Amino acid sequence: MTNAFYFNLILFFLVAIIALEVLAKKLRWPPAVAQLMGGAIIAFIPGLPAFEIDPALVLVVFLPPLLMAGAYFTVWHEFRRHLVGILLLAVGAVLFTTLVVGLALHAFTPSLPWAACFALGAIVSPPDAIAAKAVLQRVALPRKLLVLLEGESLLNDATGLVLYKFSLVAVLTGAFSMTGALEEFAWLSIGGMLLGGAFGYLVYKTLRYLHDTELMVLASALPGWICYVVGEHIGVSGVIATVTYGMMLGWHQHEIMTATARRRGAAFWEIMIFVFESLVFILIGLSLRGVWERISQADKSLADYSLEVLLVLAVVIVSRFVWVFAVDALAKIFIRSATTATAHPTWRESFVKSWAGMRGVVTLAAALAVPAEVPGRDLMLLCAFAVILVTVLFQGTTIGWIIRTLKLKASHERTYLNEPQTWARIEQAQYAVVSKLAYDEQGQLLHPRLLEQYSYRQSLSDKHKNDAMLPDDIRKAHFNVILAAVAAGREELLKLHRSGQVHDDLLHVMERDLDIQEIAALHTRG
């Protein structure tokens, strides 16, 4: 097949993304489900060649930007507050699932080496960041639960890939050192954080000197890939390096990026992430044909593998339930004995946390990368694809229904300022600046209309600061504002956010309005 054919195939995939997205909305499915099924159907279209996926290429192309996008919008206050819970899922649950899958599979198939059993466990153990984001963004959850699941999806790939690496080494060499594995894991994690932090610091120091919007957007996006590539090359975790960089950029972007760059960058990332997420699930579906052909040429038939596949599926799902409910039960005991005011997790939250274990591109790429000489490679491929299909198609489509049935609602676990209260604080700061700049040194009023406008806005927002919602007539953006007032408002907004009084979601919404005001002022000033 020519390169032109593959280019035309990519265009076809992009058209398919639009059609499948519309279909998903019509059927009220998570888009990931429609795209995965669409890819599987496309794979068996007569005349199309078998689509071979290079696992290393898939990881380096798709994983860094999708991880970075998730890290960029991570809520720092909540991430730090729930770091222990996130690590218990991202490290503890992955280790537990790997162990249980390995033990169960070896007990059922003693001829399969121990290391190969644990390699399969490591392949299917980490829930996928892309799959989790694609499903969770469509449902409403209590804030703590959402933070735990999103935080887990950012960090657990590193745990799973490290376990996978050591298991394969043990299979191929017959040697394994627990001490060496722990030291390697520590180096991968700490080294990844240091590398990501170094790139974050470098971008923080240099980005403000780039005055061209396009260069600023590009210079902030490229390090996400570079962190991953450099990290994998020097032997540290590229996943953790990318996540660390994304979190640093998300925290400092309010200070180092211009309003125009932030808005254009947001549009750029929204389109790119939408396309990348959709392509990932289409590629997973396309890989079904290759997996099917490999299994058809294997020594055992598909039916002969059925019991092992069903066993792995059951263990993957049940082990997460066991781990989550056990950890949450211990948390309840600890909270009760500590007599703190912290709310303990309910069984409903534990159930949803257990059910939200969708697997995706990392599981598939790891299975495809298993060398041909590894015992049980065909079983690994089949189990990996079965786990992805069941968790995305079954758990992904039913999680919304389960949340509604269990009557879990979106909520914040602490009290933040609402939109009217935050606008009251911002416009008070803006009015204070305008009231000074509206007069010259002799005290003569130079800008009466601006002073009147900001005085009116400040008094009006103060009047409605205790309302649940702002009236429609004062929601509209006021584009004809001066830059000093916008800067004062932004400074006040960041001050409220940094002190923990404003949530990240509201920060992004209100900063968007301030950016629009700033862009309009720049155009007006000429």
* Residue-level length of the chain: 526
pLDDT beyond 50 at 201: yes
Cβ(167)–Cβ(101) under 8 Å?
Answer: no
In the predicted structure, residue 305 carries a pLDDT above the cut 70: yes
Backbone angles phi, psi at 144, to 5 degrees: -60, -45
User: Pick from 480, 21, 25, 43: which is nearest to 289 by CA?
Assistant: 43
Ramachandran angles phi, psi of 300, nearest 5°:
-105, 150
pLDDT tens-digit readout, 80-123: 888 898 899 988 999 999 999 999 999 999 999 988 999 999 99
Whole-model pTM over 0.85: no
The CA distance from 352 to 512, in Å, is 32
HSE-CB for 188 with a 13 A CA cutoff: 24
d(Cα 106, Cα 233) in Å, to the nearest integer?
Answer: 34
- The predicted pLDDT at position 192 comes to 92
Of 163 and 125, more confident = 125
Nearest-10 crossing angle of helices 238-256, 483-498: 140
pLDDT for the residue numbered 459:
75
Going from the C-alpha of 64 to that of each of 72, 98, 131, 317, 387, the distances in angstroms are 12, 24, 14, 27, 23
Which residues have a Cβ under 8 Å from the Cβ of 80 and sit 6 or more positions away? none
Task: Assess contact for 286 and 43: CB atoms under 8 A.
Answer: yes
Most confident of 281-285, 453-457, 522-526: 281-285
Q: Contact, 172 vs 370, CB < 8 A?
A: no
Domain boundaries, the chain: 3-405, 419-525
Report whether pLDDT(376) > 70.
yes
CA distance 110 to 209: 62
Q: How many Cα atoms sit within 13 Å of 494 on the Cβ side?
A: 14
| Least confident stretch, 11-15, 54-58, 323-327, 469-473 | 469-473
Q: Which of 135, 100, 140 is nearest to 120 (CA)?
A: 100
Contact 106, 83 (CB under 8 A): no
CATH number of the structural domain 3-405: 1.20.1530.20
| Residue-level pLDDT at 199 | 95
pLDDT of residue 265: 87
The distance from CA 151 to its chain's CA centroid, rounded to whole angstroms, is 8
Looking at residue 524, its pLDDT comes to 46
How many Å separate Cα 104 from the centre of its chain?
31
Residues 100 and 1: beta-carbon distance below 8 Å? no
Tell me the pLDDT band of 526, cut-offs 50, 70 and 90. very low
Residue 148 has pLDDT above 80, yes or no: yes
Residue 494 has pLDDT above 50, yes or no: yes
Q: Does the pLDDT value for residue 336 go beyond 90?
A: no
- On the question of pLDDT at 503 being above 50, the answer is yes
Q: How far apart are CA 89 and CA 321, in angstroms?
A: 11
Task: Name the amino acid, one letter, at 167.
Answer: S
Give the Cα separation of 433 and 70 in Å (integer): 36
Higher pLDDT, 242 or 6: 242
- The C-alpha atoms of residue 176 and residue 285 are separated, in whole angstroms, by 35
* Of 465 and 215, the one with more pLDDT: 215
- Please indicate whether residue 145 or residue 468 has the higher confidence score (pLDDT): 145
What pLDDT was estimated at residue 260? 83
Digit-coded pLDDT (tens) for 431-473: 888 888 888 877 788 778 777 777 766 776 777 666 666 555 4
* pLDDT tens digit sequence for 219-254: 999 999 999 999 999 989 898 999 999 999 988 888
At residue 326 the predicted structure's pLDDT band, cuts being 50, 70 and 90, is very high
The pLDDT value recorded for residue 445 is: 81
Long-range contacts of 142-145 (CB under 8 A, 24+ apart): 142/349, 142/408, 142/409, 142/410, 142/411, 142/413, 143/78, 143/410, 143/411, 143/412, 143/413, 144/78, 144/82, 144/349, 144/413, 145/349, 145/352, 145/353, 145/408
Q: Check residues 520 and 362 and name the one with the higher pLDDT.
A: 362
Whole-angstrom distance, CA of residue 187 vs CA of residue 225: 20
| pLDDT score recorded for residue 480 | 44
Flag the least confident range among 166-175, 292-301, 434-443: 292-301
Rounded percentage of the chain residues whose pLDDT exceeds 70? 87
Per-chain mean pLDDT for the chain = 82
